[in-house]
Structure 1
Amino acid sequence: MSAAVRRRPRAAAESRRAARPAAADRRRTDRLGTADSRWAARLGAAGLLVALVALLLAPATPASAHAVLVSTSPTASSVVPSGPSEVVLTFSEGVRKVPGKIRVIAPDGSRADRGEPTFKGAVVTIPVDASARGTYLVSYRVISADSHPVPGAFTFSVGAPSAPPTDSGTDNRANPVVEDAVKVAKYLGYAGLLLLVGPALVLAALWPRRLSRRGPARLAWSGLGLLVLATLADLWLQVPYTNGGGLFDVTGSGLGDVLGSAYGTAHLVRLGLLAAAAFLLRPLFVGPIGRTDGIILAILGGAALFTWPLAGHPAASPAPAVSVVVDAVHLGSMAVWLGGLVMLAVFLLRRADERELDAILPIWSRWAALAVAALLLAGTVQALIEVATPKALVDTTYGRLLLAKIVLFALVIAVAAYSRSLVRRRTAAGRPGTMRRAVLVELLITAVVLGVSATLVQTTPARTAATDVAGTPTGYFSATLTSPLYSLQVELDPAERGNNSVHLYAYTKDNRPQPVKEWKATAALPSAGIEPIEIPLLPLTDNHATGEINLPAAGRWQLRFTVRTTDIDQATVTATVPIK
């Protein structure tokens, strides 16, 4: 046997010994990959839990309405000399009727409304019989142009005030369980969208041919199912959400009203587009698809994105065409960016080799940069439209939520910049673990951002939240109070906690200045246990007096004015003033 032949078994043995460390390294790498996978799953679950907690504990508004009552006739809390034949409510945007939810209650507790109210854009007219003297209660619940309920109530008096009546026939308070369920459904819809868009985009353009598509396909089908479930939940919950009922207070007529509205139409169109897209997604999850199919799938996806703003407050903004487009761009950019991050963290950074990552990561980095730029631009335009003034950023719930979202988004951008630096230094492909951890941190923070976003779309935009109810300028109260002896014009400025100026003007029945012998005024807040506080008044003319008072707490203050017109004739009038 030759020496070369004798050396072959020795060479084979040496090759096997050399292969053992490599195999050990691969097993160690697999164990690390498994540990990373478990860590990623725990981190993702924690992110989802934090997001849901933030979602449910976020500041809630009593009505979650995106339209506000800007004026009433008669004026809220006013005293009118004779009963009106109709009550007129004017809102900041068009509203629709909720059957049986507009009522006018007479001083004796009977119904004073006569017939069905009429709706004309933002104006609601209620025919009434207000022939009895005393205080009337007007309660209402309508649907704003962006599909959100607008409940509320106010009083006015005929002749003289009396004890306000109560309305036991309807309850306009929102159901907190339904409100939270609506927010959860919105969140799940966003999550489903990104879980569908991310796999579809990566499989169509970036997925290595040698890797199996089974995992991404399952993720995408899960996203599609979650999206369909959230859309159906939106339709179901919209009935009790607008009517003020519980989770299962859904009737056929109520569901028919929802499906026949713009909100219902947008959701039905979304379901149809998702069904059509499913036929093209199926071959994509098996292998590459043709250019034409890819274009059709992109068109269907883009059309589906518009169903979100068309069913929300962008459609009722001051610039609806701009708001709808901007909101669709914002949502699409979010889905591309976060969906791609999920694919990187769950699949590509674990399965692709260094050569494949060298080709994939630079392309993805450019896509992510474009998506983030679109998010920033769209978010800026949205903020300018919905917030309107810098003061509203801190004075409204919507503004504060938006600030929180901006801070979280800035953190995400910082982490994304670090990931992009890894790609530029060409170290990401060689150190996928570091890249993957950075991506998971991005996903954790953006999970909370999604929770804030789901709450934000259910919160009154700052542009309408800053509008004062009852048609008076912000921080100002004015009303005309009537007695058998005189009418009294009352002005309180700024009608807020702290120092306030009071101006009183007395007039005769034929609207001439009424000379006054003596003025008296008090302010009380019974709900807070504050007894009547005397308001010192200084007569400026025969029919005009002024005074200063410090109102220490917010609430519905009761102002009481006694005016003596002769040595023996005097009358007292009252007004309820909301103090912010």
Structure 2
Amino acid sequence: MSAPLTQRWFAPGWIVLLGVITGIVLALAPASPAAAHAALLRTSPGQGAVVEVPPEQVVLTFSEPVEAVADQVRIIGPNGARADRGGARVSGERLRIPLRSGAPRGTYLVSFRVISADGHPVSGGFSFSVGAPSAAPAQEAQDGDDPVVVTLLAVMRYAGYAGLVALLGGLGALAVGWPARLSRRGPGRLATGGIVLVAAPAVAEVVLQAPYLLGGGLSDLRGSDVLSVVDSRYGYAHLARLALLAAAVPLLRRVSRGTPTKRDQGLLAGVGVAALLTWPLSGHPAGSPLPWLSVLLDVAHLAAASVWLGGLLVLVGLLLRRSAREALAEALPPWLRTWSKVAMGAVAVLALAGVAQAVIEVRTLDALVTSRYGLLVLAKAGLLAAILAAASFARRLARGAPSPGPAGAPAPDPPPGAPTRGGALRRLVAVELTLAAVVLAVTAVLTQTTPARTDAAANAAAQPTGSRQAELSHKLYTLRIEIDPARVGDNQVRLYAATPGGKPLKVLEWKVTAALPSAGIAAVDVPVVAVTGDHATGRIGLPKAGRWVFRFTLRISEIDQATVKTTVRVR
């Protein structure tokens, strides 16, 4: 008699498959366009500043150490030619760009693309003027990151985490005390598959990192760019991961066969810890204010999560199948009790490390509930709580498992079609694995998201004192404006254009006017300079206080143009 349709759809295999699909969808979710991982805090000369004497160099200060991307840090002079001299120099958080001697009067555009400490690219630009502003020099707008490259990197990170779960799950199952009645081949194969699933994405990540850093697509991939990635901290970390995985293979074989020596076990533990270090050394912890503490916390977090979730994978895939349950009527309950203690220890480490990491990366309760990074942390915590709830039910079910019959004989089978306690336990563990797959996806998205601490530093640096800000909407675009300081005298105008959906919008032509009708001052043009495709800046001297009317005209194509206006009170 076949199982009911609902039992078929809620079988463990379908449940886990649903979790994997959901996890992949989440991992493919695009990162925010502003998800840079190092923030530009200040520049010298400042954004839109007018200086009388040309500076010897332009200095950019970021929120964490950076590296310059070759030939993508430059200064364009008023005549449209390169005005920087030699290569850019980096010292920790500061990027210095020498300016050619005898720089003419006019407006200069500074554009940059750097690599933050966690391996993510950051690009942008600003303008300053010598003597007086001039027409904007010709400069191609910077393009965003290629979505195909970003998506593939997210998939590779997700696969790498899944491989780590399989690897440590198989090893952990053997270390806890694998039932003698079952072959060790199952967890051994799981661990071997985990090695492959960690190694292949590591290679792919190094290759994909080259176009990602340069802002290009797969068609722009060159061997020399890949070699540049290899010769970086990011590349060294991934090469070390591959070398350590290779060293672990012969040790894993002996563990799988049940013939490891204490020396083998010690070596395997050492290789495992060293391999785990390669994740934080190429990610967010490397750029943390407390790097070594963050690295150690991340290692503990990764190890605990992988041992716990890997154990669930072993349970649902190997031990709780009907054939295994029948063969392990006596051995399975003791193994489950031992594993339960290990899992609870892993969960405790996971919770403590996660809280400590959140304190370092998020810092404030306000950031926890308002920043994208903080919301992802809350989502991850909620999913882990749901997994713990399912684990609690599963643990009760395991404790209440029926005892074997007389003389160790298996307990009698339930009537055909009736749900079994072992089947219910397997479904509960499958639910845990489903949620775990989503947790891995959220973790992969977190690695692409700017930490809340960096967002806070960037917002604090970008917030002008006493400025007036507004967001103006039209069916063609949304325009965010800043008038600083909105007082009589010299004022800076900053413009940021976006699509109605919130993505950066390339503007072909900007036009700004300001008028004070109450004082009979007609509209005067505000000279603006396009810094990037979606950002422009300008300066205007406002001679009187009052309610000034600003009009902004943006042309975004040969035929699409629209004007929006706002009133700004100038004191």
Cα distance in 1 between the residues matched to 2:394 and 2:483: 55
**2:48 is aligned with 1:48:** no
The code of the aligned residue for 1:136 comes to Y
* Whole-angstrom distance in 1 between the partners of 2:497 and 2:211: 34
Aligned to 1:547: none
Q: How does 1:512-527 map to 2 (within 5 A)?
A: none
Deviation sequence 1:221-274 (CA, Å, 0-9, x none): 221111110111121112111111222533343223222222111111111111
Deviation at 1:428, TM superposition (A): 10
**Which of these residues, 476, 485, 488, is aligned with residue 464 of structure 2?**
476
Task: Give the aligned partner of residue 517 of structure 1.
Answer: none
Secondary structure at the aligned position of 2:71 is classed as coil
Structure 1 residues 72 and 522, CA gap change in structure 2 (3 angstroms): closer
Q: Secondary structure in 2 aligned to 1:466?
A: helix
In structure 2, the gaps of 5 or more residues are 405-410, 412-420, 472-479, 500-509, 520-533, 545-551, 553-565, 567-571
Q: Which runs of 5+ in 1 are unaligned?
A: 1-27, 478-490, 508-519, 539-553, 565-573
Is residue 427 of structure 2 the alignment partner of residue 444 of structure 1?
Answer: no
SS of aligned partner of 2:218: coil
SS in structure 2 opposite 1:504? coil
Partner amino acid, structure 1, of 2:64: E
User: Structure 1 residues 536 and 232 mapped into 2: Cα distance closer, same or farther (>3 Å)?
Assistant: farther
Task: Quickly say closer, same or farther: Cα 1:84–1:283, change in 2 above 3 A.
Answer: same
Larger displacement relative to structure 2 (183-192 or 108-117):
108-117
Specify whether residues 525 and 305 from structure 1 end up closer, same or farther in structure 2 by C-alpha distance, changes over 3 A only. closer
Correspondence for 1:203: 174
Aligned to 1:22: none
Q: Secondary structure at the match of 1:314?
A: helix
Deviation at 1:369, TM superposition (A): 0.6
Is contact 1:142–1:150 with CA below 8 Å preserved after alignment? Answer: yes
- Match of 1:468, SS state, is helix
Give 1:524 shift. 8.4
Q: More displaced, 405-414 or 286-295?
A: 286-295
Cα distance, 1:525 vs. partner?
Answer: 8.1
Distance (Å, rounded) in 2 between the aligned partners of 1:389 and 1:88? 30
3-state secondary structure, aligned to 2:449:
coil
CA distance in 2, matches of 1:306, 1:445: 26
Partner of 2:29: 57
Deviations 1:448-490 (A, max 9, x none): 1100101101211111111136xx645325xxxxxxxxxxxxx
CA distance in structure 1 between the aligned counterparts of 2:516 and 2:461, rounded to whole angstroms: 23
Picking from 461, 468, 487, the partner of 1:504 is: 487
Match of 1:465 in 2: 455
Match of 2:75 among 104, 120, 124: 104
Alignment root-mean-square deviation, CA: 3.5
Cα distance change, pair 523–288 in 1 and its aligned pair in 2 (3 A): closer
1:503 CA drift (Å)? 4.8
SS in 2 for 1:101: coil
Structure 1 counterpart of 2:234: 263
Query: Contact between 2:114 and 2:122, CA under 8 Å: does it hold in 1?
Result: yes
1:562 aligns with 2:538: no
Relative to the length of structure 2, the TM-score reads 0.78
Q: What pairs up with 1:169-568 in 2 under 5 angstroms?
A: 171=142, 173-350=144-321, 351-352=324-325, 353-426=328-401, 431-468=421-458, 473=461, 475-477=463-465, 491-492=466-467, 502-504=485-487, 506=489, 560-563=540-543
Opposite residue 504 of structure 1, the aligned amino acid is R
SS class of match (1:467): helix
Say which of 54, 59, 64 aligns to 1:93. Answer: 64
* CA shift in 2, pair 1:172/1:97, >3 Å: farther
- The answer as to whether partners of 1:141 and 1:172 remain within 8 angstroms in 2 is no
Which amino acid in the other structure matches residue 344 of structure 1?
A: L
Query: Once the two structures are aligned, what percentage of the paired residues are identical?
Result: 44
**What is the CA deviation profile of residues 312-361 of structure 1, one whole-angstrom value per residue up to 9, with x for unaligned ones?**
12122111111010000000001100100000001111214221112111
Q: CA deviation at 1:173?
A: 2.4
**Could you say what secondary structure the match of 1:76 adopts?**
coil
Task: Please tell me whether the aligned partners of residues 277 and 295 of structure 2 are also in contact (alpha carbons under 8 angstroms).
Answer: yes
Please give the alpha-carbon distance, in whole angstroms, between the structure 1 residues aligned to 2:373 and 2:221: 29
Q: Sort the Cα spacing of 1:340 and 1:248 in 2 relative to 1 into closer, same or farther, 3 A.
A: farther
Paired position in structure 2 for 1:9: none
Aligned to 1:21: none
3-state DSSP class of the match of 1:99?
coil
The answer to whether the 8 Å contact 2:36/2:120 transfers is: yes
Q: Deviations over 1:283-330 (max 9, x none)?
A: 222335333322322221122111111111212211111101000000
In structure 2, the partner of 1:72 is 43
